[in-house]
């Protein structure tokens, strides 16, 4: 655990407290965890990094628009990867057939110009690699680790929970990829480095942790974050799945915590849990638990998937051979630690019927990729096998699918008439204002006293009417905002019969956001959007 003795101010103006990460959270409560930066946002908010989303009121001074939540639409051709090979069907074992990541990772390789998917072949059997040019049709390359197969995990490793992350910022050519693997039945995870994501270094064992533990990278603070599964005692012999947090600037050194118990010298801190707003499944009736928490940098914030466990208990599932019900709901963080969860609807749901994603829906470690005006969310699902009424049956027939959402499309600010949204004071270092919007829109700039700033006034605003995920804003007197760089201004958006998803001030007329693009995609040259591109529909 890194504790700062002096405050740290983030890219968005949020100042972290001297003791970091925070130690005020307890996981034995069902109360929602407060988000400090929403209760007291900065007096001025820098918006130089990424598209600015309206997932919360962090940026909003006043508004009479309605906030609407949106969810990915599952691809009709799912699953895009399912058990076919001997490794995936585990024909030499007695376990379950799966071809899906349990976090794992799916990243665009900017050098080879392909998507690379690290996934689990056979339950706790092997980590394998698949590649795709279009994200829908996947190939299994023959590799040299186990000749004739696409296996990348060392022989003898039994992956139970694991994450692969490319390190775009390292100076170590041997550490361009990191993997964090928690083996089945082992209380410590293994940390490996790799130059290519295929051949891995000798492992370094982590501190003690529970199963389904993962890790991710927070590029806003250049920190490796370990999302550690923990069990919190509720009394009476009952336990609750929760998460602990541990961060470090160095991946390998950061893995050396003592335990999750502060009383035993533990460095990790209680972090996240399900709460009373996570409603039980009406047919199951069990209290919700937080099964896993994956996260990735998307534009100007950390995007998370809370994997919510709704039951039944493992022993009940084993009686039927059907998977437990877990589903994915969105979460958002601007400081990398506190999560805002304004909507508890499952963004990617379990179908609860005899199809490939009947239950046990799980996220990828990178959450999503970005393709033109869409975000692609890959996820794992399990059909189970009622012919095998045992634990192995519940995790049989696991596969990988994908769902699509509009770019920045998590939340929109809407009106069926005319309304407006005024931001808090913001500062920027770009020159051109862009929006992601539908319907009719005009925009003006205001000073600290809410007076219009000439010539960027409502009267001079050129109306936008249409549907675009990257639309430049225009004024009759010109569009260059360079004279206002570094000065606090407010944006006032007036919307007519439409939806406003995001805004940003680009460095140039391309519409580049200089924000992060999660798992990436072929439209970009690296992990940050330096390309832009108009996306009018």
Residue 202 inside a domain? The answer is yes
**Tens digits of per-residue pLDDT, 193-214?**
999 999 999 999 999 898 999 9
Distance separating alpha carbons of residues 166 and 227, to the nearest angstrom? 17
pLDDT at residue 235 in the model: 61
The token pair at 293 is 């928490």
- Say what the pLDDT of residue 336 is: 98
Same domain (yes/no): 415, 495? yes
**What is the pLDDT averaged over residues 48-66?**
98
Please give the torsion angle defined by the CA atoms of residues 524, 526, 531 and 534, in that order, rounded to the nearest 10 degrees: 40
Rounded-to-integer distance, Cα 246 and Cα 1, Å: 6
pLDDT for the residue 428: 98
* 60 and 79 together in one domain: no
pLDDT bin (cut points 50, 70, 90) of residue 448 is confident
Cα separations in angstroms, 20 against 6, 8, 256: 10, 9, 18
Q: Which of 347, 372, 406 is the last residue of a domain?
A: 406
Specify the 3-state DSSP secondary structure of 23: coil
Residues 61 and 93 in one domain: no
Last residue of a domain, one of 406, 435, 468: 406
Tens digits of residue pLDDT in 210-258: 899 999 999 999 999 999 999 887 666 668 899 999 999 999 999 988 7
Task: Give 492-505 pLDDT, tens digit per residue.
Answer: 999 999 999 999 99
Nearest CA among 310, 322, 401, 390 for reference residue 358: 322
Model confidence band, residue 1 (pLDDT cutoffs 50, 70, 90): very low
How far apart (Å, rounded) are the C-alpha atoms in residues 490 and 475? 16
State whether 368 and 480 are in the same domain.
no
C-alpha–C-alpha distance, residues 441 and 364, integer Å:
36
The token duo for 147 is 């000749």
Does residue 354 sit in the same domain as residue 454?
Answer: no
- CATH number of the domain bearing residue 478: 2.60.120
DSSP 393: H
CA 389, 394, 400, 405 dihedral sign is positive
Check if the beta carbon of residue 130 is closer than 8 Å to that of residue 106.
no
Residues 387 and 428 in one domain: no
> Is residue 18 domain-resident?
no
Residue 263 has pLDDT above 60, yes or no: no
Residues 6+ apart with CB under 8 A from 262: 269
Contacts of residues 444-449 at CB distance under 8 Å and 24 or more positions apart, as own/partner, are 444/491, 444/492, 444/494, 445/481, 445/484, 445/489, 445/490, 445/491, 445/492, 446/422, 446/489, 446/490, 446/491, 446/492, 447/489, 447/490, 448/488, 448/490
Does residue 186 form part of some domain?
yes
287: closest CA among 308, 260, 306? Answer: 308
At 202, which CATH number? 2.115.10.20
Torsion-angle region of 113 (φ positive above 0: left; ψ -120 to 50: alpha; else: beta): left
Cis ω before 328 (30° cut-off from 0): no
How many residues in the chain? Answer: 537
pLDDT of residue 233: 72
DSSP 70-124: --PEEPTT--SB---SHHHHTTTSSS--BEEEEEEEEEEETTTTEEEEEEEETTT
Q: What are phi and psi of 36, to 5 degrees?
A: -60, -40
> What is the structure's pLDDT at 286?
94
Residues 145 and 268 in one domain: yes
Residue 88, Ramachandran bin (φ over 0: left; ψ between -120 and 50: alpha; else beta): alpha
Mean pLDDT of the chain: 94
Is the domain of 54 the same as that of 124?
A: no
- Same domain, yes or no: 366 and 507: no
Percentage of residues in the chain having pLDDT higher than 90 = 87
Burial class (CB in 10 A: 0-12, 13-18, 19+), 271: buried
pLDDT at 3 over 80: no
Q: What is the pLDDT of residue 156?
A: 80
What is the C-alpha separation between 496 and 417, in angstroms, rounded? 6
Rounded to two decimals, the pTM is: 0.96
Q: Which domain holds residue 66?
A: 46-70+410-517
Q: Would you say residue 5 has pLDDT above 60? A: no
Asked if residue 364 and residue 235 are part of one domain, the reply reads: yes
What would the pLDDT profile of 85-118 be if each residue is shown by its tens digit? 999 997 666 779 999 999 999 999 999 999 999 9
Helices (H), 321-473: 391-394
Same domain, residue pair 157 and 50: no
Q: Is residue 279 part of a domain?
A: yes
339 and 284, same structural domain?
yes
* Per-residue CA distances from 76 to 14, 73, 119, 323, 404 (Å): 41, 9, 21, 22, 11
Residue 261 has pLDDT above 70, yes or no: no
As for how many domains the chain has, the answer is 2
Under the banding of pLDDT at 50, 70 and 90, the label for residue 266 is low
- Over residues 505-533, the pLDDT tens digits come to 999 999 999 999 999 999 999 999 999 98
């Amino acid at each position: 655990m890194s504790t700062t003795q002096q405050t740290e101010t983030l890219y968005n103006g949020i100042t972290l407290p001297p003791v970091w990460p925070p130690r005020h959270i307890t996981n034995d409560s069902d109360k929602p965890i407060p988000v400090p930066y929403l209760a007291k946002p900065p007096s001025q908010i820098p918006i130089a990094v990424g598209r600015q989303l309206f997932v919360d009121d962090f940026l909003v001074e006043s508004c009479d628009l309605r906030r609407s939540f949106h969810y990915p639409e599952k691809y009709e051709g799912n699953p895009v990867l399912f058990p076919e090979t001997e490794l995936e069907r585990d024909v030499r074992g007695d376990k379950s057939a799966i071809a899906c990541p349990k976090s794992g990772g799916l990243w665009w390789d900017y050098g080879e110009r392909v998507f690379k998917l690290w996934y689990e072949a056979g339950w706790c059997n092997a980590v394998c690699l698949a590649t795709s040019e279009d994200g829908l049709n996947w190939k299994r390359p023959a590799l040299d680790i186990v000749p004739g197969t696409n296996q990348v995990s060392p022989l003898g490793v039994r992956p139970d929970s694991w994450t692969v992350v490319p390190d775009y910022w390292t100076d170590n050519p041997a550490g361009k990829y990191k993997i964090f693997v928690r083996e089945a039945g082992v209380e410590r995870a293994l940390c490996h480095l790799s130059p290519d994501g295929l051949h891995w270094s000798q492992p370094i064992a982590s501190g003690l942790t529970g199963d389904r533990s993962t890790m991710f990278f927070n590029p806003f603070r250049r920190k490796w974050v370990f999302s550690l599964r923990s069990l919190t005692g509720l009394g009476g012999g009952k336990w609750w799945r929760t998460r602990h947090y541990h961060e470090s600037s160095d991946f390998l050194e950061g893995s050396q915590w003592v335990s999750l118990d502060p009383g035993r010298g533990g460095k990790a801190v209680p972090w996240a849990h399900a709460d009373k707003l996570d409603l039980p499944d009406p047919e199951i009736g069990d209290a919700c638990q937080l099964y896993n928490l994956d996260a990735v940098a998307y534009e100007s914030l950390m995007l998370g998937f809370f994997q919510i466990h709704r039951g039944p208990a493992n022993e009940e599932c084993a009686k039927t051979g059907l998977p437990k019900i877990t589903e994915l709901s969105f979460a958002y963080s601007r400081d990398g630690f506190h999560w805002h969860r304004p909507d508890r609807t499952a963004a990617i749901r379990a179908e609860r019927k005899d199809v490939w994603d009947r239950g046990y829906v799980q996220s990828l470690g990178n959450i999503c990729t970005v393709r033109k005006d869409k975000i692609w969310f890959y996820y794992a699902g399990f059909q189970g096998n009622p012919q095998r009424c045992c634990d192995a049956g519940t995790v049989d027939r696991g596969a990988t699918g994908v769902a699509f959402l509009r770019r920045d499309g998590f939340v929109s600010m809407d009106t069926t008439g005319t309304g407006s949204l005024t931001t808090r004071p913001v500062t920027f270092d770009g020159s051109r204002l862009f929006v992601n919007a539908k319907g009719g829109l005009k925009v003006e700039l205001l000073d600290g006293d809410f007076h219009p700033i000439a010539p960027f006034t409502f009267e001079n605003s050129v109306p936008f009417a249409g549907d675009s995920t990257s639309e430049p804003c225009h004024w009759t007197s010109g569009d260059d905002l360079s004279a206002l760089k570094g000065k606090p201004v407010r944006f006032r958006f007036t919307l007519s019969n439409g939806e406003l998803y995001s805004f940003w001030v680009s460095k140039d007329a391309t519409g580049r956001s200089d924000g992060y693009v999660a798992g990436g995609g072929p439209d970009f040259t690296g992990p940050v959007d330096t390309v832009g591109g108009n996306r009018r529909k």
